[in-house]
């Protein structure tokens, strides 16, 4: 019998780190792998087998998957919109990791292979309006995804489909919609909107400033899913019966300006807003249609944006305070 219950690729990242902890708490034997040195991982679970390895190399991918029953592949070079728009080639090179981990999983004949895709696979032409129609899974085609990162994710989705069809590899695919929460990237250029807004508000509070910078006019819209909901949905899809890609996100649409107001409410401040109209802003509007995941899995997120942001702001505030003390 295989000696490792679960491999988490990308375990040094935000979602991967939380997933390793959650799986380990369930009593599973977890192999956690990331290319970053261990001291750069967001979280480290001491009961896991923690491995630094570059899974873009086929030999490393094969070694990581050896004796593993279930693979969760969350490994990707990614970040917020500023990073994605300025690092398209780096984002696309993640296809090496996606390909090699999938190939190794097929060779090992794993019980399940879960691939973390993204809402960035959706056609840009369907995301031109802030009051957007929620994106259904079929809206990924005809294909015109986010340049770089989105193309890599869509290609890797297709590989999962064809490995399932041609080799009977039991692949499962979730399209993550803007996951946020504590223990994530909050500074340095890779952070996403919730963490960036929390940091900016915390910096204003701690430094007695009265202004916040907002990328774009702030009317661009998104939905944001708290990490705990993401973990539940991820494992539900991984253990489910459908190989079809499915949205995993909140359908609670909010503008960036409204996101700022929520964080201000949590922090108990009001700040003057300076909009940077030439900054990266991504698509105009994006929201998740959760019809398929409700029908197939009976799932909806439990945690409201306000409650999730309250926990996230408290954590980010502590990080900012430590960094300036």
How do 221-222 and 254-255 pair as beta strands?
antiparallel
3-state SS, residue 245: coil
User: Cβ neighbours of residue 211 under 8 Å, at least 6 residues apart?
Assistant: 204, 271, 272, 273, 274
Out of 149, 180, 313, 317, pick the active-site residue. Answer: 149
User: How far is CA 83 from its chain centroid?
Assistant: 14
User: What Å distances lie between residue 2 and 16, 245, 325, CA to CA?
Assistant: 22, 27, 48
User: Cβ neighbours of residue 36 under 8 Å, at least 6 residues apart?
Assistant: 12, 52
Catalytic annotation present for 149: yes
- State how far the Cα of 97 lies from the Cα of 104, in Å rounded to an integer: 10
- State how far the Cα of 134 lies from the Cα of 122, in Å rounded to an integer: 11
The edge-to-edge listing of strands for the beta sheet with 246-248 is 49-52, 30-34, 4-9, 68-73, 112-118, 171-176, 246-248
Catalytic residues: 149
């Amino acid at each position: 019998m295989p000696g490792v219950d679960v491999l988490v690729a990308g375990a040094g990242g935000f979602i991967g780190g939380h997933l390793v902890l959650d799986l380990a708490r369930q009593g599973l034997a977890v192999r956690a792998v990331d290319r970053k040195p261990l001291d750069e991982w967001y979280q480290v679970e001491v009961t896991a087998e923690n491995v630094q390895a570059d899974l873009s190399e086929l030999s490393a991918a094969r070694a990581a998957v050896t004796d593993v029953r279930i693979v969760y592949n969350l490994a990707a070079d990614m970040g917020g919109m500023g990073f994605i728009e300025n690092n398209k080639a780096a984002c696309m090179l993640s296809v090496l990791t996606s390909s090699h981990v999938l190939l190794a999983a097929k060779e090992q004949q794993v019980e399940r292979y879960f691939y973390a895709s993204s809402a960035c696979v959706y056609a840009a032409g369907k995301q031109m309006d802030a009051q957007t129609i929620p994106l259904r899974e079929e809206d990924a085609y005809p294909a015109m995804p986010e340049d770089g990162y989105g193309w890599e994710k869509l290609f890797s989705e297709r590989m999962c489909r064809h490995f399932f069809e041609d080799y009977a590899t039991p692949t499962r695919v979730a399209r993550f919609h803007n996951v946020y929460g504590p223990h994530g990237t909050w500074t340095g250029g890779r952070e996403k909107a919730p963490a960036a807004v929390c940091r900016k508000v915390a910096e204003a509070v701690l430094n007695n400033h009265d202004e916040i910078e907002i990328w774009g006019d702030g009317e661009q819209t998104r939905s944001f899913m708290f990490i705990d909901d993401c973990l539940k949905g991820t494992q539900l899809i991984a253990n489910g019966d459908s190989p079809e890609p499915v949205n995993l996100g909140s359908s609670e649409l909010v503008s960036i300006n409204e996101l700022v107001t929520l964080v201000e409410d949590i922090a108990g401040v009001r700040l003057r807003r300076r909009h940077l109209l030439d900054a990266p802003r991504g698509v105009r509007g994006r929201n998740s249609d959760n019809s398929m995941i409700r029908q197939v899995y009976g799932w909806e997120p439990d945690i409201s944006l306000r409650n999730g942001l309250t926990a996230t702001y408290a954590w980010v505030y502590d990080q900012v305070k430590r960094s300036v003390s």
